[in-house]
Amino acid sequence: MRIIQFIKLLTALILLVNAGCIDTIEVDLPSEESQRLVIDGVVERSPDIYRFFVRVSTTSELGEELIASEVRADIQLVLNGLPVRSLTNAIADTISVEEFHQLYGGSPEEATFNIRVTLPDGSEFESVTQKILENPVGSEIKLNYVTRQELNNVDNIVERGYVKVQISTPVINAREERVSLRWDVYGVYRFPEVAWTEDPFFFPKTCYVRDFLPVNKVKVLKSTSVSTDFVDGFEVAELDADHRFASGYYFTVIQKSISDDAAIYWDQVRQSISREGTIFDSPVGAVKSNISQIGGDSREALGYFYTAGIDTLRHLSTRDETGGQLHLCAFQTVSEACCDCLILVNSTLAKPSYWK
């Protein structure tokens, strides 16, 4: 039962952290009969780009370990009922929306997608067919600074500040379709060097640091849970209020318009993570697969395929809306980063193109 529960939730790990998140491990695996097939995929469309990603893998239990490994498979992207493009297992494929429809016909508004997978033994599988829902117009990011009293490591009560990232958005798009939504949150903060030195040859640099935000925090809104046409202040992330906000923090939120069925799936994943704290733990309930076998000897396949309309939202924080945080080196040289910001993990001198 433990391995079945793990496999039903494995799709979430694959789609959250994308390709390469599970290493292929060369070991003596259990027999083929004990392996379970997992097929996961997504078709995403931003205003200008299509992105396709499918992963076909097997999971096995080896002693106390659960092993996932990719398998050889012919993967076809199906457009309006016809296979049009071969995909490589576990590698994202992108193409401009204009070029895609010039090559394969149809229009973005009328396009429907699914995937068809054929294994070396002749087994064939197909997902449900789905269209891509456009994003609502007028979504925006808002920041909210809050404080909470908490116990520190010596059991003293201290007041700590947090920055909440919130979304305000319609839930109806321009085609009068009611949509469910899911969000991924990323961040980059500005870190100028502040060195307490009289060295005339020290020239301070400014770094831009890509922040590590939790990849297993699922934020999803089911359209059926909203009684109005607009959601105001829906929280999608919370960060400790600290020096990262002293000189500007640029949030990027990827908003995905998804179907109600996909929202139900992601909400089940969210419940599991919230309950147990890790995406590998047993789910609250069974996650329903939308992958069916259409040919070959009978074989169980788990997994999930969905489509998403993509909108990119951005917001540059101010000190006023994040609690007036101080620079890490405001009063003294407390870190080598004060004099060399490039030692910060994921830092660069290259200013992001969107930074105003």
Candidates 37, 124, 41; CA nearest to 301 is 37
Q: Which residues of 31-48 are buried (b: 16+ CB within 10 A; e: fewer)?
A: eeeebbbbbbbbbbbbee
What is the pLDDT, as a whole number, of residue 353? Answer: 97
Instruction: Please say whether the beta carbons of 302 and 8 come within 8 A.
Output: yes
Tell me the two tokens of residue 109.
Answer: 């508004």
pTM of the model: 0.85
Q: How far is CA 140 from CA 76, 211, 321, 355, in A?
A: 36, 21, 15, 17
What is the pLDDT, as a whole number, of residue 302? Answer: 86
- Tens-digit pLDDT profile for the chain (356 aa)? 444 454 445 555 555 545 333 334 333 444 455 688 999 999 999 999 999 999 999 987 666 566 779 999 999 999 999 999 999 999 999 999 999 999 999 999 999 999 999 999 999 999 999 999 999 999 999 999 999 999 888 888 999 999 999 999 999 999 999 999 999 999 999 999 998 888 888 999 999 999 977 766 889 999 999 999 999 999 999 999 999 999 999 999 999 999 999 999 888 878 866 765 444 444 444 567 899 999 999 998 888 999 999 999 999 999 999 999 999 999 998 899 999 999 999 999 999 999 98
Rg (CA), the chain: 23
Bridge pairing between strands 140-151 and 112-118? unpaired
What is the pLDDT, as a whole number, of residue 155? Answer: 86
Dihedral angle sign, alpha carbons of residues 344, 345, 348, 353: negative
Query: How far is Cα 128 from Cα 131, in angstroms, rounded to an integer?
Result: 10
Query: How far is Cα 43 from Cα 77, in angstroms, rounded to an integer?
Result: 9
Q: What is the 3-state secondary structure (H, E, C) of 297-313?
A: CCCCEEEEEEEEEEEEE
Provide CB contacts within 8 A for 208, sequence distance 6+: 188, 189, 190, 191, 347, 348, 349, 350, 351, 352, 355
What is the pLDDT, as a whole number, of residue 240? Answer: 96
Query: How far is Cα 241 from Cα 261, in angstroms, rounded to an integer?
Result: 36
What is the pLDDT, as a whole number, of residue 143? Answer: 98
Sheet holding 140-151, edge to edge: 140-151, 157-170, 230-240
Identity at 101, one-letter amino acid code: H
